[in-house]
Structure 1
């Protein structure tokens, strides 16, 4: 699915709830140069503030080690009310639906959210870091 189509999902008739947690370190890692970094962070601020079903959290760098450093994942609640996990690495992506594994990832997700800043503070941090990319 092209990027524009993925983004349009957030503004569609029935947008999903999207809760995202970013590690503060990714806000400071130069990818694409300063202008790209600034625009990307400003875009995240806009999405987080313009879409009521989008919540963005940042785990501050002061937290140290926490379950999120183990790698990215998607925990999705399906319309059938089942949860699945999507894991992606350099070789392939895989969907996990085994109950015990999903519950383990859910526990990690809850621990990660517990370390993250609330949405308003996260957006303030994103805005502040965006201004440093000049």
Structure 2
């Protein structure tokens, strides 16, 4: 269990990272969420509503795309856990796998290519941006 100071430090770190998306020359962010995370009560109704409203607002930024895989899809490759495929300024691709104990950086061309295929499969199951944002807003309203 984390102590209160650690929780506050983690929160401050996350909020600081969010500033990256609104700075001058921000990176592009493409995210896909499972609809289940919109409904899972973490932090109470007010916190859920606020988080989902903030997520919907983030999609108004020209460099942020958020897609939601609806519950009706059933099983799909994204259920195997969170991952990132990042492109740096030199167009080098790097992957990142997150798990319960730590994260793993993936740099081999073969493994990054495999992650890209999974990414495309996950995005292929997701709703388009506008429909995803509408769903996020609709679910946020249920958390009143």
Q: Please state which band the TM-score falls in when normalised by the shorter chain.
A: over 0.9
Structure 1 residue ranges, 4+ long, deviating more than 4 angstroms after superposition: none
Determine which of 16, 20, 26 is the counterpart of 2:37.
26
Correspondence for 1:106: 116
Deviations 1:79-129 (A, max 9, x none): 121111011212111110011110111000001100000000000000000
TM-score of the aligned structures, taking structure 2 as reference length = 0.89
Q: Indicate whether 1:44 and 2:49 are aligned.
A: no
- 8 Å CA contact 2:81, 2:99 repeated in 1: no
TM-score (norm 1): 0.96
Deviation at 1:15, TM superposition (A): 0.3
Q: What secondary structure, in the 3-state scheme, does the structure 2 residue paired with 1:76 have?
A: strand
SS in 1 for 2:68: strand
Give the SS at the match of 1:46. Answer: helix
Q: Within the alignment, does 1:6 sit opposite 2:14 as a pair?
A: no
Listed one character per residue, the Cα deviations across residues 47-98 of structure 1 (whole Å, up to 9, x for unaligned) are: 111x100000000000011110011001100112111101121211111001
After the TM superposition, which residues 11-90 of structure 1 pair with which residues of structure 2 at under 5 Å, given as runs? Answer: 11-49=22-60, 51-90=61-100
Q: Alignment length, in residue pairs?
A: 133
Find the residue that maps to 1:107 and give its secondary structure: helix
Distance 1:88 1:67 in 2: 15
Give unpaired runs (5+ residues) of structure 2.
1-11
